[in-house]
Structure 1
Amino acid sequence: MTFQGLVSTWQEYRVPFLLAQLALLGVVLSIRFVQYRNAQKSKTLRAPPVRSPILVSKDKNWQEGDNDRSPDPAFREIVKKFDQDEGPLQAKVAGSQKRMPKRVTGVKATKNLGIEEAGNRKILPVIFFSSLTGSSERYARTLTNDIRQSLHRQASNVLEPQIHDLSYIDYDDYFVTPPKPAEGLQYFYLLLVPTYNIDTVLTTFLDNLKETHHDFRIDTAPLVSLAGYSVFGFGDKEGWTTEEQGFCSQAIEIDRWMAKLTDRKRAFPIGLGDVKSDVQSQLEAWKRGVESVMIDISINGSLGEGVRGSGDSLESDEEDVDTTGAGSAASKPRKPTKRIPNTSTNLGDLEDLGENHGLDTGSDADRTQISTPIPVDFTISKNTSTAPQPLKEMVPASSPTFTALTKQGYAIIGSHSGVKICRWTKSALRGRGSCYKYSFYGIKSHLCMETTPSLSCSNKCVFCWRHGTNPVGTTWRWQVDPPDLIFSGAKEAHLKKIKMMRGVPGVRAERFQEAMRIRHCALSLVGEPIFYPHINEFVQLLHADKISSFLVCNAQHPEQLESLKVVTQLYVSIDASNRESLRKVDRPLHRDFWERFVKCLDIIREKRFRMRTVYRLTLVKGFNIEDEAEGYAELVARGLPCFVEVKGVTYCGTSSSAGAGLTMQNVPFYEEVTSFVEALNTALGRRGLDYGIAAEHAHSCCVLLASKRFLVDGRWHTLIDYEKFFECLESGEEFAPEDYMGPLTPEWATWGHGGFDPADERVYRKAKKVAQEMTRSTDREDEA
């Protein structure tokens, strides 16, 4: 039959064919419907559904013995079987919650490694090495013997280490599917690897780590069961001077891929040693750190808080402000949060709280507490309250202030103190530079602890980073914690935060080890440290532990300042040169703020021969820069401090700062700061004052003016001899700042050299680096 014949046949019979198909479909549907109805009828004729024993137990009318009297035989059988298997029904009523369906919490459960008790954990160190000339093997075998002898004396839970050559093992046995540990045992990997510019077994090993991570058939973190890992690299700085140029590059790559495969279980920062200079000392320091970590794991059962998922440390110019770059938390859409009425602006202004401020604190007890009369400073008001008021905590653990400060990274000590590590500490740990205190005074940021014994302040400065979070007040009206509690708590919290950095990429092992010994304390975190009633006792505890003290006050408490004993360096914040500017910038609570300010400057003048004194000027465009150099010079002439620090304000970008009248337009450029410093230096010279520009730290936008008391033979000596300071202190005799004057200020820190330590690695933001490269390119074209 031809194609045209088929078409004609279809045209002739298509209608009957389609009707037949519809009829067949109707018959099938009818049959299915009848079957469904029959099934429903059969269900209704069956016995009633058996009730769950758990539900029966909740029936108020159910009594013991009702199971046997039930008219439903099926139900009696079910209950009888339940009683035989699970015990009497009535005895199971109290435990009925255990038989409920499993609750889904939305949190991924961690793998059970079969280790329940921390004290029962056994740690087995496994040392891997690679060597062509035999040097790395000798170091690895020496390390094995040292760990065996050292840990045998210190920790019985750390077993005798194993050692393997990467050339003779099957990678799948250790780095794809690690050896299955016995119950109560975890492996700890140590990798000692050199770096070569030729293809070696390390090249194959690195390729294997990459392939393992990217292989879709293998878990992305197959080594998550490890207790931890750490890497030490051997390099030669004659061939590769820096890490960017290839120094220990293969060790750094292995460390990075091991972090991925173990789900970031870097237990100790990577160690790097130059085989022609410091390899022995670096390896020894790394070994001590690794041993301490293994002991901690054997005791506590884990790497500790902050290691897993710690990620990169903050590198912005603001301490803890969310960045808006790609991948940051700020760039992601945020869910709307439920706001608490009337708390956004009044939270920090506790001095102004009263029963009519509309602050809803939740419970009746809290409302009663806030509505009680607030102690009043007699110097600013005639209204006094003679009724004794019970002392309460400055920052209770249940308060919004506590929540806000801890969210910002503070550790609250006791009821009114705090500690926090700044971004410069994180930067110094990674070899990316310390803050201006290192350039000016020789303080390494990773050896410095930032703390305050008082979170309260008597000012509400427009540039303060902690608007709405720290309390304010003019008198101490809270309970007082003893100084030894604050001291021990601050040290413990600081070291805990340092330990949280050991899993951060780029942290240097030797600096991490150094950071475990606190050498300096900056009493300038937030609030007013001199406000604490036992500040002298607290400073004495610092000095007894050989920790130097840098104390900053806001020039509003002359009585406390006058009674202050010797500190290593005493700061006073000079935020304006006249009464009106000071009122606008510092927004003080005292009505006689200017009189207090001037009196504090007079006290600084008296103390300048007993301790190093410093004026700290924070420049804010539109507030205290324009045409105020002469006024600042008058204030310097009044107090004659040893040093004058001039620093541009750091804008934190918060809405509270905007509400205070501060925007990015108020942040001066470094060129504007240096121009102001030169104008101030000229104004001081016209008054016959012996000052000069001694040092700078451009990255902090900070410049140091120093008294020529510290200019010896035409060279500045702004650094501090800390050992000499403690010797003078322990002698019991009076001494002057010149008695603990340190060595020469390094050339790179002096005026005109930028102030960045060349031993560190300067890291630029991408946009800033591109702009600088374009500038250098333009300069070269101009020279050509």
Structure 2
Amino acid sequence: MKTVTLIWIAVLILALARNAYAPWTLVTTLTFSAIAVVLLVLHLTDDDGLDASRENHKATSLADKRKAIYTADQRTSAEAEASAKDAPSGCCKDASVASGTSAGEGYCKSAAVETSEQARESGCCKSVSSDAQVSSGGCCQSEETASESGCCKTQAEEKPTYDEGRVYCKILFSSVKGTCKGMAAELNALMLSELADGGLKKENVQVIDLADYNPLDLEEEDLQCLMVFIVPTYSGGLPPESSAGLCLYLEDCHLDQRVSKKHLQDIRYAVFGCGHSSYISAHYNTVGKNVDRWLQALGGRRRFGLGLGNQDVTESKNGSIEADFTEWAQRLVRTYQNKPLGGPAAGDNVVEQNVVTEEAYESDSSSYSDEEDGNQDDGMQDLEDMGPLMAKMKAQKKKESSGGPREMITPALRKSLTKQGYKLIGTHSGVKLCRWTKSMLRGRGGCYKHTFYGIDSHRCMEATPNLACANKCIFCWRQHTNPVGTEWKWKVDEADMIVNEAIKNHRALIKTAKGIAGLIPERYEEGLNVKHCALSLVGEPIMYPQINRFIGLLHERRISSFMVTNAQFPEAITRLSPVTQLYVSVDAATPESLKRIDRPLFSDFWERLMSSLDELGRKQQRTVYRLTLVAGFNIEEIVQYAKLIQRAKPQFIEIKGVTYCGTSDASVMTMQNVPWHEEVVGFVQQLCDLTPGYSIASEHEHSNCVLVARDEFKIDGQWHTWIDYDKFHDLNDRFNKTGEKFTSLDFAVKTPSWAVFGCDEQGFDPEETRHYRRRQNKAGGL
């Protein structure tokens, strides 16, 4: 209107200027003038109305409605006061109040409100629709008024209801070790407990193994059913067998251009992935991330943020992968307490899948969700708005890094290991009392090291200066609660402190055995003085940066050292000071089997094993291969093992049948994987036939273990596998002072007849009293 008016006035002026004295223009000039006056009047009277119309039109858009929440505070104080006079008591204008419990109770509680429109849009009074009536002051005054006007809904009215016999949630899991299966059961129990007020019953939720689920059924799922996927990432970033079919189906549909991008638009889903950040970073939780991405790309509606659980306890934001899931599951269920499953979670009104939230940084599980149908936007967030959040995240990261390296033992790890009987030392070490120590304190026999090498089992301290490992072996009985890593990235405790505290804690553990039945007093007193240290408790001791200092302190106290390494750190073997006996675990004879059994973190694990064996062959001390036989995995690899033995020519080879520790999340094995002692002996006999210069020297039938030794330790027809420990310490002291070297034969002593292979005792010391468990129906019993 303003533009039209100005044009008419301009035309009028031009006409007057050019034809000011022409009589015939008088009528034209008067006509133009009249029209200009009319237009000017219309402009002055109607522009406010037209502009108001535009403003009202703008206010109806979703973007401006959202913006109204944040611009309310920019109004003048005079307007706010005028509006407040008309507002009834018990009303509010603050959106943050509205999103909490106040709005859910059916009426508003703060002191002022601006207009009825703002009352609705701020969320203070939640309207059923945009046309809902509001009381004169702009909000509802009571629950009764709320229910009548529809402005505010009561808490009871917002509770969802569930029909009997209908499935509202399917929890689909894929599990290798039982971890994800347990998580699915946990979420099921949590839902049935927390959502019971709405009538959710057992039949409304299904827990399904993905091995039993046909991916094609996704196309027929009820759009009111929430699909929760709990999936692990296995070796190489691949899905386990049970979820491979789902991943293949989703990926094929995603890549097939013939498949509509709305192919799975009726799917309402949430995904939780289980992974381990210490493996190759590109593989971390790839299955969970891919399932979430593929579902969304095919039109699926994400109803809760992708959760990423980390099995590395030192990197997990909540201390363990189980705690990561519990935190995610509780938030998931909490958001559906006032919304039906399958529908959008409470507060799911903004798409945030491209936003890095502070919560995601803190809990390692993102908190984004899709908007309700029909109200989607591009999910972008202004970089200006991201600034404060990113600055806060960087500040937090800097705060963490400025404090130096983190401690290895997290609260969750401390709780788990303490429950298993560990005495933890400092930030990365521990000791534990071996069952054979307690057995020999009672005169009931020693371990296989007593039979093979003559250690006093009741004087042996089982310890480690490092709880972390570079492998996650399937037969590990430590329940996989310890951290893993390919390098040292934690705070370093001093070796002196670790040795002193280890001895102190071991003595304390010995004292706890004082009251057990059958304790021999003399052995109890001997047990308080540590003579041997088995560095094979848990983790990889050779990773500890001060390992040579640690070993030196043991030897200064005339404590022998039995060091076990998993052969993934060849450089550390090169640098290692002399130990009483150095072990290398050779758990498989081929790269394929080693990957299946040890599940190593290093991608060049086989090359590292070969280099470690080469370094072992250069050591001028007692060296041992430790072989753990697992039926169905490596027991058929006799020829390949023989080649590995010829490579490094260790002085001894221990071959032991794997120990079955029961069903747990830490192992996929069953009793079918445990070879009989006769099978182990048969394996060893074939191995010796393939490796000239080696023979069977000893056995410990109780431990299902056999010792093979180089023939040079058979002196004058007698095996000399035992150790003169005092002589070892004397020779080691001389080496440290003068550099004069010594060999293993210099401190080898004769093996007693009862410990030699083929004897009737089968490695059980006749000075001990053998006891059998009652279920074996033999005399004695424990």
Q: What is the TM-score when the length of structure 2 is the normalising length? A: 0.50
Q: Within 1, Cα distance between the matches of 2:500 and 2:424?
A: 12
Structure 2 counterpart of 1:590, from 602, 609, 612: 602
Cα distance, 1:455 vs. partner? 0.4
The C-alpha deviation readout for 1:544-565, integer Å capped at 9, x for no partner, is: 0000000000000111111101
- Counterpart residue type for residue 622 of structure 2: R
Cα deviations by residue, 1:430-462 (Å, 9 ceiling, x for unpaired): 100000000110001111000011100000000
Q: Which residue of 2 aligns with 1:540?
A: 552
Q: Secondary structure at the match of 1:409?
A: coil
Shift of 1:731: 1.0
SS in 2 for 1:419: strand
Tell whether the 8 Å contact from 1:581 to 1:623 is kept in structure 2 after alignment.
yes
SS in 2 for 1:735: coil
**Structure 2: any 5+ residue segments left out of the alignment?**
1-187, 192-228, 234-272, 286-305, 311-316, 328-356, 366-396
* Residue 707 of structure 2, aligned match among 693, 704, 707: 704
In the TM superposition, what is the alpha-carbon distance from 1:388 to its structure 2 partner?
6.6
* 1:337 to partner: Cα distance: 10
In the alignment, does 2:675 pair up with 1:668? yes
Which residue among 626, 641, 646 is the counterpart of 1:637? Answer: 646
Distance 1:512 1:771 in 2: 26
Give the drift of 1:394: 4.3
**1:605–1:639: 8 Å Cα contact kept in structure 2?**
yes
Residue in structure 1 matched with residue 455 of structure 2 by the alignment:
443
Corresponding position of 2:631: 621
> How far apart are the structure 2 equivalents of 1:645 and 1:702?
7
Equivalent residue runs for 1:8-47 within 5 Å: none
| d(CA) in 2 for partners of 1:697, 1:617 | 15
Cα deviation, residue 467, structure 1: 3.0
Provide the aligned C-alpha RMSD in A: 3.2
Partner letter of residue 635 of structure 1?
L
What is the one-letter code of the residue matched to 1:416?
H
Deviations 1:301-358 (A, max 9, x none): xxxxxxxxxxxxxxxxxxxxxxxxxxxxxxxxxxx9989x989999994525789514
The reply on whether 1:577 has 2:577 as its aligned counterpart is no
Contact 2:479 2:664 in 1 (8 A): no
Matched, 1:426 2:442: no
- Return the alpha-carbon distance in structure 1 between the equivalents of residues 742 and 362 of structure 2: 49
3-state DSSP class of the match of 2:683? Answer: helix
Shift of residue 389, structure 1, vs aligned partner: 7.7
1:351 to 275, 278, 283: 278
Contact 2:722 2:750 in 1 (8 A): yes
| Whole-angstrom distance in 2 between the partners of 1:487 and 1:417 | 10
Deviation beyond 6 Å, 4+ runs, structure 1: 336-339, 341-348, 362-367, 385-389
Shift, 1:651, TM fit: 1.1
Deviations 1:234-261 (A, max 9, x none): xxxxxxxxxxxxxxxxxxxxxxxxxxxx
Aligned match of 2:351: none
**SS of equivalent to 2:308:** coil
Q: Which protein shows a greater Rg?
A: 2
Write the mapping of 1:129-148 to structure 2, written as runs, cut at 5 A: none
Partner of 2:689: 682
- The answer on whether the counterparts of 1:402 and 1:412 sit within 8 Å (CA) in structure 2 is yes
Say if 1:605 and 1:641, in contact at 8 Å, map to a contact too. Answer: yes
Alignment of 1:148-159 (within 5 A): none
Contact in 2 for aligned 1:697/1:703 (Cα 8 Å)? yes
- CA shift, 1:465, in A, is 0.9
Distance 2:557 2:363 in 1: 40
Deviation at 1:485, TM superposition (A): 1.2
Aligned residues of 1:349 and 1:468 also touching (Cα < 8 A): no
User: Is 1:731 equivalent to 2:734 in the alignment?
Assistant: yes
In the other structure, the counterpart of 2:725 is 722
Give the deviation of 1:767 after TM superposition.
3.0
User: Are 1:742 and 2:748 matched, yes or no?
Assistant: yes
Alignment size in residue pairs: 416
Q: Distance in 2 between matches of 1:560 and 1:443?
A: 26
What is the rounded CA distance, in whole Å, between the counterparts of 2:232 and 2:521 in structure 1?
43
Within-5 A mapping of 1:415-494: 415-494=427-506
Shift of 1:422: 1.1
User: How far apart are residue 636 of structure 1 and its match?
Assistant: 0.6
Q: Contact 2:440/2:458 (CA < 8 Å) preserved in 1?
A: yes
Offset of residue 393 of structure 1: 3.9
Cα separation, partners in 2 of 1:393 and 1:419, compared to 1, 3 Å: farther
Using the aligned pairs only, state the percent identity: 49
Q: Verify the 8 A CA contact 1:344 1:468 in the aligned structure 2.
A: no
SS in 2 for 1:584: helix
Taking structure 1 as the reference length, the TM-score comes to 0.50
For the residue of structure 2 that corresponds to 1:549, the secondary structure is strand
Take 1:553 and 1:488, find their aligned partners in 2: how far apart are those partners?
23
Residues 134-179 of structure 1, C-alpha deviation per residue, up to 9 Å, x if partnerless? xxxxxxxxxxxxxxxxxxxxxxxxxxxxxxxxxxxxxxxxxxxxxx
Question: Unaligned regions of 5+ residues in structure 1, if any?
Answer: 1-335, 373-384, 774-784
Structure scoring higher RCO (CA < 8 A, sep ≥ 6) equals: 1
* Alpha-carbon offset, residue 768 of structure 1: 2.5
Query: In the TM superposition, what are the counterparts of 1:371-410 in structure 2 within 5 Å?
Result: 391-396=404-409, 398=411, 400-410=412-422
For residues 367 and 756 of structure 1, do their structure 2 counterparts lie closer, same or farther at Cα, with a shift above 3 Å needed? farther
Residue 665 of structure 2 aligns to a residue whose secondary structure is helix
Spell out, residue by residue over 1:3-61, the C-alpha distance to the aligned partner (whole angstroms, 9 max, x if none): xxxxxxxxxxxxxxxxxxxxxxxxxxxxxxxxxxxxxxxxxxxxxxxxxxxxxxxxxxx
Is the 1:350–1:472 contact (alpha carbons within 8 Å) kept by the matching residues of 2?
Answer: no
Using the alignment, how far apart are the partners of 2:701 and 2:358 within structure 1? 52
1:441/1:692 CA distance change after superposition, 3 Å: same
**Measured at CA, do residues 397 and 682 of structure 1 come closer, stay the same or move farther in structure 2, by a change above 3 Å?**
same
Report if the CA contact (8 A) 1:412-1:419 is conserved. yes
CA distance in 2, matches of 1:413, 1:699: 32
Structure 2 CA distance for partners of 1:678 and 1:337, relative to 1, 3 Å: farther
Give the Cα–Cα distance (whole angstroms) in 2 for the partners of residues 445 and 366 of structure 1: 51
Name the residue aligned to 1:767: 775
Superposition deviation, residue 737 in structure 1: 2.9
Match of 2:563 in 1: 551
